Structure 1
């Protein structure tokens, strides 16, 4: 208990030094870290955790606490990577054309406006089996169709956040690869999570999990019900 209080005191001192206008409170609790954080998240707006994993394709390991809270609490979970000296001025958000990623878009647009950052919306699509197998297909028509899907989903958000510069980044690639690559030039990467197990409980979706493993920047995982769609 004594060591825990010492750690909290140091953390509080750092927080007050960097953000003196922010109200800070600390509490020592007993229990498994992931379980305690999940329980406390019910009264929070956002949950922020660190990442002790290596990250990157050379060592795709993420701390167990991060993996056990991301996507499993009712609020956005921010997994913070070690800070770098370079600020990119860009936020990346994953886009898939479905309503389930709308909350992630709401969070990303809000952060982009708050920070004055450019928002890069990454939409990754896969080649149809016939084209991948070498059959003739109009690749350019397919690409244009996917571009339209991305632009249509972004349209209402562009209207709601006119001051945010938006880049629709449409790629023929696996979503995890596309998002992790875009994250290399971003300050924050936002992904949605709407995976469910066979018995209906919330689990971390495969794309969200892959991004958490491989991205080098800070990642926010937003549950499908965490934010409203634009009016």
Structure 2
């Protein structure tokens, strides 16, 4: 990997991918974690020439499927296509996530470790194409756990049930403290409770086969409580919203950890533990902090965050959508959610999702009694799914002064040929039923828009309707926010001569601003963070409308 790539990957989440279903789940876990952290995702695949078989219990070895007869160039083309497919899957599921790929050559453990030397986190599957599914870790994972010096997550394939806590092993060592810090941070960002587990394991393993007496338990708890108190000191003040459950157990460490991790979202253990803990879960583990996910933990369908004020601090609290609609692909992604409140107090969630089996994006609707949900999908199919549009996305509600309700959205024509367009669909009072034909408000017809207009939002001033929209490709420096005005919501909308928000207009302080929405005298929008374009953050600025013209400040 070049020094340029290493710099680009700094602070990203790196995921190893070999084309297996286990690795795919690991990549999706990594994508969700990268999105939650606000950083980029790098998907890396390593091709070895000649292919190196992995060990299989029973003495044999299986070569990687598809590579046995393939030459180097054929293998590269196959790998590039495979990387492209998984990257596109992640972009569809997390549209604001920056996803890049790396095709590497050599030994998988060595190359993945080098690729992730500046990463925030390395994520791998528990077994690859050639490993049996019930093995704890495959050979690549096992070697990385032994030699990799930075945080690593091993994602298992089982489905998690229960409370989905974050479990951390606590033994008083320095790496245990690092594990506690990671576990607290993960639990805080994902709205999880934390289980702090101390396993009293100084006795020989054979002694643990004897059930301890009540006196033994009281003595062990008496000795273990100060250790837990000291280990958790400081974190409780830093993460006051994370509930913590303390557990002191007398058991084989692996068994105690496995029991607590059943149904958990994440299991976190240190690498250089005290006594048998360091070997409890993954065999010989040195120099690496091990964050082992005991189940497949894909990201929420529609994650939501809450804050005491618009300025924050914002905290991810959970998944707003209770279930995947029957018409939608469960792994096709859920885009651009928008919530509106109906006169009867019901909350309505609009979102884009991929239609099964074709995968075209359409707009669905769900309802809930509270703003945060859980939202239950409504109807037998999508609310808006127009043949020939190339997909319908970016729903945004607007209620006119007479109470009429409209849904604005984008037809993604740029994906199939015609430029994208923004439409308005009037709805009945229930917010779930179209009322009459739709109306085209504007189309991507300027060279600076690069065939893309999206993310519509309407503000009504005393005499005009102002339509804010994003234009140009999302990944480019030319991505910007424009606006158009009209005497009525039905148009005709006339575009302003220049962008309203752009990198240059904001003095370079925000890179590629888009996704604008005006609420209570402030315009909220997002832009790239830092110089590497690995994550986007939310911004806000005061806005006014003197003479029916938007103006910052």
State the TM bucket, normalised to the shorter chain.
Answer: 0.7 to 0.9
Q: Does the 8 Å contact 1:183/1:216 carry over to 2?
A: yes
TM-aligned CA distance change 1:22 to 1:71, over 3 Å: farther
Encode CA deviations 1:173-211: one digit per residue, 9 max, x unaligned.
Answer: 12111111111120110111127xxxxxxxxx4124249
CA distance in 1: counterparts of 2:114 and 2:142, whole angstroms: 15
Q: Tell me the equivalent position of 1:207.
A: 280
Q: Tell me the equivalent position of 2:228.
A: 150
| RMSD over aligned Cα atoms | 3.1
Select the residue among 150, 161, 169 that pairs with 1:75.
150
CA distance in 1: counterparts of 2:172 and 2:139, whole angstroms: 30
Select the residue among 242, 248, 262 that pairs with 1:170.
248
CA distance in 2: counterparts of 1:103 and 1:81, whole angstroms: 22
Number of aligned positions between the proteins: 205
Q: Does the 8 Å contact 2:198/2:228 carry over to 1?
A: yes
Tell me which structure has the larger Cα radius of gyration: 2
Q: Tell me the equivalent position of 1:224.
A: none
Per the normalisation by structure 2, the TM-score is: 0.34
Q: Does 1:27 align with 2:105?
A: no
Which ranges of structure 2 fall in alignment gaps of 5 or more residues? Answer: 1-75, 298-553
CA distance in 2: counterparts of 1:9 and 1:96, whole angstroms: 42
SS of aligned partner of 2:137: coil
Q: Tell me the equivalent position of 2:169.
A: 94
1:1-231 equivalences under 5 Å are 1-52=76-127, 59-82=134-157, 84=159, 86=161, 88-126=163-201, 128=203, 132=207, 138-139=215-216, 140-194=218-272, 205-210=278-283, 216-217=294-295
CA distance in 1: counterparts of 2:82 and 2:162, whole angstroms: 28
TM-aligned CA distance change 1:215 to 1:187, over 3 Å: closer
Per the normalisation by structure 1, the TM-score is: 0.77
Shift, 1:218, TM fit:
6.2
SS of aligned partner of 1:163: coil
Which is strand-richer, 1 or 2? 2
Shift, 1:43, TM fit:
1.9
SS of aligned partner of 2:258: helix
TM-aligned CA distance change 1:23 to 1:62, over 3 Å: same
SS of aligned partner of 1:75: coil
CA distance in 2: counterparts of 1:85 and 1:126, whole angstroms: 27
CA distance in 2: counterparts of 1:177 and 1:18, whole angstroms: 36
TM-aligned CA distance change 1:218 to 1:71, over 3 Å: farther
